[in-house]
Amino acid sequence: MAAELMTNPTTTRHLQQTVFTSGDEPLAKQAVATLLRQLGWRDILDLDPIHTARATEMLLRMWIDVYKALNIDHFGFKVVRDDTLEPDQAT
């Protein structure tokens, strides 16, 4: 995401994008989630162990391609969940 969106996610006018967290220290992740909520983030997805941070780093390639296609940097990615499914039905 663009730097401005990191500190002010409400600058996009539409659906709030998803921000991802990863880590092995529960207290540190709680502190980060608190800070993110204070900044305005509402969709915080904890991917859990630190090794999942690698996937979010690889998302940069997709961000660059979307940036080139749209010619704007004020966009984000949104994970859309279907909360009506039972956990064993969701894939």
- The band of 84, judged by pLDDT with boundaries at 50, 70 and 90, is low
Distances in Å between the Cα of 81 and the Cα atoms of 1, 18, 78 are 20, 11, 9
Q: What is the pLDDT at residue 85?
A: 58
| Of 85, 75, 91, nearest in space to 9 by CA | 75
- State the alpha helices, DSSP H only, in 1-91: 3-7, 26-39, 53-70
Amino acid at residue number 82: D
Q: What is the pLDDT at residue 8?
A: 83
Q: What is the pLDDT at residue 91?
A: 42
- The band of 49, judged by pLDDT with boundaries at 50, 70 and 90, is very high
Kindly tell me if the per-residue pLDDT of 64 is higher than 90. Answer: yes
Per the confidence metrics, is the pTM higher than 0.85?
no
Give the contacts of 31 (CB within 8 A, at least 6 positions apart).
none
Q: What is the Cβ-side half-sphere exposure of residue 20, based on CA atoms within 13 angstroms?
A: 20
| Residues 1-44: tens digit of each pLDDT | 777 888 888 777 666 889 999 999 999 999 999 999 999 999 99
For residues 76 and 9, the answer to whether their CB atoms sit within 8 Å is yes
